[in-house]
Amino acid sequence: MIRVAGLLLAAGASSRMGKPKQLLPTGKSNLLGRIVDQALRSELASVTLVLGFQAQKIREGLHTPTRSKKLNIIENPRYKEGISSSIIAGLAEVEDRFDHVMIMLADMPHVTSNLIDLLLRKYKDAGLPLGAVVRKGRRTHPVIIHRTYYEELRGLRGDKGARDLFQKHSDKVCLVEPPEAYDDMDIDTPEDYQRFLKSL
């Protein structure tokens, strides 16, 4: 069975929110704790959480078992350079041990362990080097990337993720349809957060 490492990106400065969105309350937890918990419950072999802006405050406010053997928390000192720097920092932690990485964004509150595991199973069955969730015909997160493309990930710059990689190699992508109820919203603004709370 192939082993996949999760890279959970949570280093951003939440500039549109006006405060660290990672710590926004979501019931008994907070936004970041919610997705960390789901990632740890999944079949991912490991989870590397990449922090940056106010990293110590966010680490202290993380509502989840931070001593889990499956969880590795790192800090990206170059987080101001954009999401690419967090992907590169996370990849450096796992590339020697894992041939596959799943990239997840911490501000997508509806990502569950069931969705992660569905993507894992479909990706493994397909035997393709790239995998992604697709909703209403649009590719979204999470995504999985094989070692074949690690070098391209290391070449990313600025506030740009793996979108171009998936477009360039679109014939190598396993696209996975989630259950109808899946909402791939991300939380960037206070209005997004209020809409999310109403959905709970």
pLDDT above 70 (res 40):
yes
pLDDT above 80 (res 13):
yes
pLDDT of residue 11: 96
pLDDT of residue 181: 80
Q: Domain coordinates of the chain in residue numbers?
A: 4-199
pLDDT of residue 118: 97
pLDDT above 80 (res 104):
yes
Q: Are 130 and 143 in contact (CB under 8 A)?
A: yes
CA trace torsion 88, 79, 3, 110 (10° rounding): -140
Cβ neighbours of residue 122 closer than 8 Å, sequence gap 6 or more: 131, 174, 176
pLDDT of residue 180: 77
pLDDT band for 65, please (50, 70, 90 cuts).
Answer: low
**Strand intervals (E) in the chain:** 4-10, 25-26, 29-30, 46-51, 71-75, 100-105, 130-135, 138-146, 173-176
pLDDT above 70 (res 66):
no
Q: Would you tell me which CATH number, out of the four given (3.20.190.10, 3.40.50.300, 3.40.1160.10, 3.90.550.10), belongs to the domain 4-199?
A: 3.90.550.10
The per-residue pLDDT of the chain, averaged, comes to 94
- Percentage of the chain exceeding pLDDT 90: 83
pLDDT band for 124, please (50, 70, 90 cuts).
Answer: very high
pLDDT above 80 (res 195):
yes
> What is the distance between the alpha carbons of residues 117 and 65, in angstroms, rounded to a whole number?
20
pLDDT digits (tens, 9 = 90+) for 134-165: 998 899 999 999 999 999 999 999 988 999 99
DSSP state of 178: P
